[in-house]
Structure 1
Amino acid sequence: MNAENTLKANRKCANILRDYLQEKQQDDDFEKFDCVRLNETLCHFYVDLRKGDGERYKASSLESIRHGINRYLKAPPHSKTFDIVKDSPFNDSNANFKAVLAESKRFGLGDVEHFPVINEVDRETLYTSMYLSSTTPTGLANKVQFDIRLYFAEEELKICTAKDELTKNHRESDKELVSGVMPESPGSVYCPVASYENYIRRLHPSNDRLWQKPLDSFSTEADVWYCNMPLGEKKLSTFMSELSKKCKLSIVYTNHSIRATGATVLSQNMYGSAQIMAVTGHKSVQSLTTYQRVDTNEKIKMGKTISDNLVQRAVIASNHTCNRSKSDDSGSFMEQIQDIDIGDIPYHQQVVVRKLSHLSC
């Protein structure tokens, strides 16, 4: 599946170059270009590259597009032996690319964007809103999709498991070992399994797609709540951002935010990286860290821990210094007493000095 996704991403990058050439009314069959012509084409392409709305791409997106085109050309059926990123015939285009990259960073488009975790207040707003209510087709579909993305840490909903797969006991021999589990919450109106089972029962029987368009008008007693029409890819890709706007959340979240939320909640509840990776499917701890966030309250607690530790040590050090000072003063005083010539002081004070001298011995 990962290889298929990579090929799809490569074709998408290649189509960006193809669309650019078509817009310029040039030959778009760039797969047949030699190095000289392709280098010249890329020189202009990198400089002119913009989104559909005319906005500049982020630095990370520019990198992805260039590497995607490179992989596309090197893969079958084209199987090019040259490399547009590393080889010297492409020095000019790569010099332009670096200049464009630097310019995008000057425009503030070079920072890596970490997807925000959905905070507790917004999560409560979501689950108590009409847009995640299990009593309507739209609300039920939204809740089930959110639950699946959260519990199974699905970045994209390409494969959806059947009912028996969701509730079965996974054995050691199962091939699908990287997966979350969506447990029941008996008696709760928010039970994810109950919502899923209700949703499955309401789907249009003539359509085998899991995500179907909700009916505009419905009866709560009706068996079918959905049209014989699947939801489009765009609708799925903008799921969380649209939900954020409708529910008036504090910020507009993305689908990645749901995945980040699941990983962060597990981390906050003391699950180890290996356990979390078994759910999210991350291949390394380093890639997992981008989904584990420390919220403001945790940072305050961490700051207090540091402060308390410093204060505690400072108090101990201060007490130690004070006690040592008292001890030093006492010792010095006793030494002074012992050095006194008893005959140099009045008789009525000699008794006190003798007692103090005796205590110091």
Structure 2
Amino acid sequence: MSPVMKIIDLEAVGDFIKSQRKASTVRTTERDVAKVRSYIQSRYVDHRKLSEIPPKTLNEYLATFFVNLKKQDGTDYEPGSVSAIKHSLERYLTENNYEVSLSDKHFSLTNDALKAKRMLHKKSGLGCGSHASEAISPEEEGAMWKEGKLGTAD
């Protein structure tokens, strides 16, 4: 088999793998990578692709990114959303043949920053079931029936 055929075959395999990815995962990864890229470009004026930034530098960038991460309205993300952003970055870097994983020791500052952020979230009640529903007492239920807030259609 000629070397040209191998390249074409490998490209076809790569194209097949990409075509089987869930569209929502692809969109989420692209959105999260764009968010990090935008942060790095505005804060550090570094316009390289994330996969081209050396691990030591990317570690510093990501640590500050995660510590400063807020929604557009200024509130904190849920801890699960922060973890999802990290997973998106990991997926992007893996797909782009980055030399090390985000769970590698080269990214200890980033991972320590994420741990500290989780601790802060826990202290402030984020991600700790703060949005979980609570059962009402029989007295509260009776009052709701009496006030018409509950009925046979509810």
TM-score interval, normalised by the smaller of the two chains: 0.5 to 0.7
| CA distance in structure 1 between the aligned counterparts of 2:88 and 2:58, rounded to whole angstroms | 15
Q: Secondary structure at the match of 1:89?
A: helix
Q: Which residue number corresponds to residue 16 of structure 1?
A: 35
1:52 aligns with 2:72: yes
Report SS of the residue matched to 2:110.
Answer: helix
**Residue of structure 2 equivalent to 1:69:** 89
Matches within 5 A, 1:218-257: none
List gaps (5 residues or longer) in structure 2.
1-19, 134-148, 150-154
Given residue 31 of structure 2, which amino acid in structure 1 is its aligned partner?
K
CA distance in 2, matches of 1:65, 1:43: 13
Q: State the match for 1:3 in structure 2.
A: 22
* CA-CA distance at 1:6 after TM superposition: 1.5
Q: Distance in 2 between matches of 1:26 and 1:55?
A: 25
Distance 1:28 1:107, change over 3 A: farther
In the alignment, what sits opposite 1:79? 97
> Which structure has the larger Rg?
1
CA deviation profile, 1:191-218 (whole Å, cap 9, x unmatched): xxxxxxxxxxxxxxxxxxxxxxxxxxxx
Query: 1:66-107 CA deviation, whole Å, 9 max, x = no partner?
Result: 1111111111xx2224111x2011111111110011111211
Say yes or no: does 1:99 pair with 2:119.
no
- Residue 26 of structure 1 corresponds to which residue in structure 2? 45
Q: Residues 100 and 28 of structure 1: is their aligned pair in 2 closer, same or farther, counting only changes over 3 Å?
A: farther
- TM superposition shift of 1:114: 6.6
Deviates more, 1:89-98 or 1:104-113: 104-113
1:107-151 alpha-carbon deviations (Å, 9 max, x no partner): 111135579xxxxxxxxxxxxxxxxxxxxxxxxxxxxxxxxxxxx
Show structure 1 runs of 5+ residues with no match.
116-249, 251-361
Specify the alignment match of 1:88 in structure 2. 105
Identity %: 27
**Change in CA separation of 1:73 and 1:6 when aligned onto 2, cut-off 3 Å:** same
Structure having the higher helix fraction is 2
CA distance in 2: counterparts of 1:81 and 1:38, whole angstroms: 12
TM-score (norm 1): 0.29
Contact 1:7–1:72 at 8 Å: present in 2 too? no
Q: CA RMSD in A?
A: 2.4
The match for 1:36 is: 56
- What is the 5 A alignment of 1:246-285? none
Q: TM-score, normalised by structure 2?
A: 0.65
**Counterpart secondary structure, 1:24:** helix
Deviation at 1:2, TM superposition (A): 5.1
Amino acid at match of 2:28: A
For 1:105 and 1:23, the matched residues in 2 are separated by: 29
Instruction: Give the Cα separation in 2 of the matches to 1:114 and 1:9.
Output: 25
- Measured in 1, the distance between the counterparts of 2:58 and 2:73 equals 26
Aligned length: 114
